[in-house]
Structure 1
Amino acid sequence: MQYPLYVHRNGSTGFRASFPDFPTADASGDSFDELTRNARATVEAMYDRSEQLIAAPTCSTSELQALQMDDGNGIWVFVDIDLTRVTSKSVAIQFNLLESLLLQVDAWAKKRGMTRSAFLTRALVDELKKLEG
């Protein structure tokens, strides 16, 4: 699956990057190829044989550009992440929300440097844990 990655220059010789759909996955590299390999490896290692719910990739350019991580000094690229070893699978869904609720979701997600999908996934997982516990 293709996930967005926000890439910055790291000094004059390297790169650093973050995934909005994987807030704890940061990567760096001396070359662009090394950066993307490291980013891919970081996410794949985080979720290897995992049953964690993984957010579907955010593909909306306007949603990505609205994130705080997009400071105008980097570029968005898409990195192919192999999630075949993950035992849970994400699926795209469509549902309706009040516009005011969606605006709140987007504001809270932005504060946390997350996409809408990642925020809603995290909120649902947390709520289900409360119900089970």
Structure 2
Amino acid sequence: MASYIALIHKDAVSDYGVSFPDLPGCVTAGRDLDEARAMAAEALALHLAGMAADGEAIPEPSSLEAVMADAENRDGVAILVEAPAKARKIVRVNITLPEDELERIDAYAEQAGMTRSGFLALSAKRAMQDAA
């Protein structure tokens, strides 16, 4: 099973951000390191499943040396995230929101380096964890 390198970044006023150099656009965040690692695994699974559903080629994981050769990656802490054995099925849903709320969601997600879907999934997961 393949493992991809994820980079964890932390700014003073933000959550722990996670990105995958081999998979541009595959980003997530967590309130603490444990949540960031858990969300990284989920983001990787969703991203790979989406690529597979779109018929995109899944890249081979880069080595740590190759990732760290890029100066932009040296500010992050590298972790290995195991790719799922089988890509999870992505399901498209249709929701209805007031336009101004959707604009606020999109702006917040973009600022956090996330997609709308990723932000809504993370928010729902956090709400369910908090309720438990």
Q: Percent same amino acid among aligned pairs?
A: 19
Q: Secondary structure at the match of 2:70?
A: coil
> Are residue 80 (structure 1) and residue 101 (structure 2) matched?
no
> Measured at CA, do residues 82 and 67 of structure 1 come closer, stay the same or move farther in structure 2, by a change above 3 Å?
same
Number of residue-to-residue matches in the alignment: 85
Q: Secondary structure at the match of 2:75?
A: coil
In structure 2, distance between residues paired with 1:4 and 1:85: 18
Any gaps of 5 or more consecutive residues in structure 2?
90-132
Any gaps of 5 or more consecutive residues in structure 1?
88-133
- Structure 1 segments, 4+ long, off by >6 Å, are none
- State which drifts further: 22-31 or 34-43: 34-43
Counterpart AA for 1:14: D
What's the TM-score once normalised by structure 2's chain length? 0.54
CA contact (8 A) 2:5 2:80 kept: yes
5 Å-filtered alignment, 1:62-73, equals 62-70=65-73, 72-73=74-75
What's the TM-score once normalised by structure 1's chain length? 0.54
Q: Over residues 12-70 of structure 1, what are the superposed CA-to-partner deviations in whole Å (9 max), with x where a residue is unaligned?
A: 673112101111111110111211221221221223262321001112x3211122431
Across the aligned residues of Structure 1 and Structure 2, the Cα RMSD in angstroms comes to 2.4
- State which drifts further: 39-48 or 7-16: 7-16
- The structure richer in helix per residue is 2
